[in-house]
């Protein structure tokens, strides 16, 4: 089933993201993660993809296929196009189709440290348009409430979102953010551009201070003062930091759901304890919101 249908059927779509383990690590652990996440009954689970043709990428197809075929949960395979040739992308599309995976998150991927590598695609719109001509996939794309880190012109990313929609993206998943007001400002701008596709809020709970600092340096997300206080206060106590992180993410999600967002995408970092606790905290809200859908 295409994920855009889920947005039609529900007021709120709730999903998880996982990543494939490094190639020298066995798959059993992530199989176990999928098993545990499936018990939480998300609407779908997405699997990340390594930009630039990582050798892990056959694991993205494998795990997406397992989620769909072993657990009956929709899966979303991430796919990046930076440096890729059309032929290699087509091979992956064929493989996903054969494995019953109906949904792709079409991404450009980060520019490698050595600079842009040439391939058959310049940006995500190229990939979205290409996927549109191949097979009958549901297509998601990324959006950036605080702007993409490479974008120098204010609000250019809102125009680009419109291009992505016109190229064939059915819905968007946002980059992580820690300040809901920034997300609400972004939604207002999106509305003014007449972008109609649903937007899911991407939420990443803190696991440790280093992880957050690394990710923030890559994507430029703003860290609110109260979030920094949590990081500083509990950085050496992993259980306390985890619990404060769960509480912070829960508070963010409660506010987002109450505001009326169309979806929450939880970056689980393959941590099932965190996914489990957060899902438990918000499950009655999800039920309440979805019980009111009139199709």
Q: CA neighbours within 13 Å on the CB side: how many for 169? A: 26
Report the chain's C-alpha Rg in angstroms: 18
d(CA 75, CA 168): 19
Nearer to ligand FAD, 101 or 230 (CB): 101
Least distance CB 260 / ligand FAD (angstroms) = 20
Least distance CB 196 / ligand FAD (angstroms) = 18
Q: Please indicate whether residue 17 is annotated as part of the active site.
A: yes
For tokens 């890729």, what's the residue? 84
- Report residue 288 as tokens: 């309440």
Nearer to ligand FAD, 124 or 230 (CB): 124
The C-alpha angle 70, 5, 201, rounded to 5 degrees, equals 90
Q: Which residues bind ligand FAD (CB under 6 A)?
A: 48-51, 78, 80, 105, 107-110, 123-125, 142, 148, 150-151, 156-157, 160, 163, 173, 175, 202
Least distance CB 140 / ligand FAD (angstroms) = 8
Nearer to ligand FAD, 34 or 142 (CB): 142
Least distance CB 179 / ligand FAD (angstroms) = 16
Which residue among 17, 74, 165, 262 is the active-site one?
A: 17
Give the sign of the dihedral formed by CA 58, CA 63, CA 68, CA 73. negative
Contacts of 219 (CB under 8 A, 6+ apart): 144, 149, 175, 176
Helix (H, G, I), strand (E, B) or coil at 176: coil
User: Which residue numbers are catalytic?
Assistant: 17
């Amino acid at each position: 089933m295409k994920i855009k249908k889920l947005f039609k059927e529900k007021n709120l779509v709730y999903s998880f993201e996982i990543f494939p383990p490094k190639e020298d690590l066995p798959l059993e652990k992530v199989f176990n993660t999928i098993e545990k996440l499936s018990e939480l009954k998300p609407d779908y689970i997405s699997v990340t993809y390594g930009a630039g043709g990582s050798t892990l990428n056959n694991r993205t197809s494998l795990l997406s296929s397992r989620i769909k075929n072993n657990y009956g949960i929709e899966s979303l395979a991430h796919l990046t196009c930076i440096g890729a040739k059309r032929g290699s992308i087509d091979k992956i599309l064929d493989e996903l189709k054969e494995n019953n995976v109906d949904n792709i998150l079409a991404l450009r991927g980060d520019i490698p440290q050595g600079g842009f590598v040439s391939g058959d695609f310049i940006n995500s719109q190229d990939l979205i348009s290409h996927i549109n001509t191949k097979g009958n996939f549901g297509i998601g794309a990324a959006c950036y409430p605080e702007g993409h880190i490479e974008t120098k012109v204010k609000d250019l990313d809102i125009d680009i979102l419109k291009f992505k929609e016109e190229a064939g993206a059915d819905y968007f998943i946002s980059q992580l953010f820690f300040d809901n007001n920034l997300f609400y400002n972004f939604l207002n701008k999106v509305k003014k551009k007449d972008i109609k596709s649903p937007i899911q809020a991407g939420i990443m709970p803190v696991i440790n201070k280093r992880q957050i600092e690394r990710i923030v340096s890559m994507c430029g997300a703003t860290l609110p003062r109260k979030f920094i206080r949590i990081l500083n206060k509990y950085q050496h106590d992993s259980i306390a930091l985890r619990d404060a992180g769960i509480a912070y993410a829960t508070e963010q999600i409660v506010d987002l759901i109450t505001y009326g967002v169309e979806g929450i995408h939880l970056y689980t970092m393959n941590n099932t304890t965190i996914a489990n606790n957060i899902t438990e905290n918000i499950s009655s809200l999800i039920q309440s919101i979805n019980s009111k859908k009139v199709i």
